[in-house]
Amino acid sequence: NLVHGSDSPESATRELGLFFEANELLEYNRAVDAWTWNDEDKG
């Protein structure tokens, strides 16, 4: 599969560990997010 959706956050964490090392994952903000999400949506 090119795209996969996990059934829960816990499953996603476990599944990410099957394919990636911790140093291969990163978090980032896209510039467009400021234009498409308001503060309530961001949580």
The catalytic residues are 4
Q: Kind and range of the H or E element at 34?
A: helix 33-36
Task: Collect all residues with Cβ–Cβ distance below 8 Å to 15 and sequence separation of at least 6.
Answer: 4, 6
- Dig out the tokens for 29 from the structure: 């903000």
